[in-house]
Structure formats: C-alpha cells, structure tokens
Amino acid sequence: MGLRFSEIVIDCADHGAVVDFWQAALGTYERHEVNEQYVGLGPAEGAPAGAPYLLFQKVPERKSVKNRVHLDLRADSMADEVARLVALGATVTAQRALGEKLCWTVMADPEGNEFCVAQA
C-alpha cells in the first residue's frame, strides 16, 4: 500500500493558545514554527513510539460545529489527567461510558476542538 500518515491537522484561529495548550498537555512534543499559517508539534526524544505529528493551521473562521474527527487519548489516571488538562485551559463537555469497563471524558481545547480522555 502506498499511503502512510503524515500528520494530523487541527484548525485554529490563534496558534498561541492552542499550540501552547497541546504542547503542555502532551509533554514530550517540540514546537516547530513552519510559517505564518502553520505551527507543528512533533514528538521529542522520549515520546511514545508512533506518536503522531500535529500541525496547527491558522484559519480565519472560528469553530462553529462539532469536530468530525477528534483525538482519543488514554491516561493511567483519567481523573488526574482531566484535572490537569482543565488547569491548562481545557473544558469538560461530557462524561461517557459503555458498560462498567469503558469510560471516557469528552473535552475541548481552548478553541473548542473536541478530544477524549479514557482510562488506560
């Protein structure tokens, strides 16, 4: 097969708030200034194997509807990570569960881009 992932692109109105949030949230990522429209976050030394490259694209319009694609993240302690992410500027939008073993928290970054945090 000839396809492979290159990066995950996230639209934003302000690189500063969103990129700073995701860099702090993910920890082992380095900021790459690409140009006026794009800023990247790439896995740094010590990042988990297979960690994706994130590219933040500055766009003129604000987010207005639910994302069609979002990031799913796993944490050793979902409650601790959710609290840490809220302190960094995220908001909790919902709590979800499928049975007793699968539960996750739906969150939004500082510009409203949804992502989920689940218990590992």
The 3 state secondary structure assigned to 65-93 is CCCCCCEEEEECCHHHHHHHHHHHCCEEE
**pTM score:** 0.91
pLDDT digits (tens, 9 = 90+) for 35-63: 999 999 999 998 888 899 999 999 998 88
Q: Angle between the 15-26 and 78-88 helix axes, to the nearest 10 degrees?
A: 150
In a shared domain, residues 28 and 56? yes
In a shared domain, residues 105 and 91? yes
pLDDT digits (tens, 9 = 90+) for 60-108: 988 888 888 999 999 999 999 999 999 999 999 999 999 888 999 999 9
All residues at 6 or more sequence positions from 87 whose CB lies less than 8 Å from its CB, including other chains: none
In a shared domain, residues 56 and 72? no
24: number of CA atoms within 13 Å, CB side?
16
In a shared domain, residues 46 and 87? no
Domain that holds residue 116: 63-120
Residue 2, pLDDT above cutoff 80: yes
Count of Cβ atoms closer than 10 Å to residue 18 Cβ: 24
DSSP state at residue 51: P
Domain ends where: 62, 82, 99?
62
In a shared domain, residues 1 and 55? yes
Radius of gyration of the chain (CA): 15
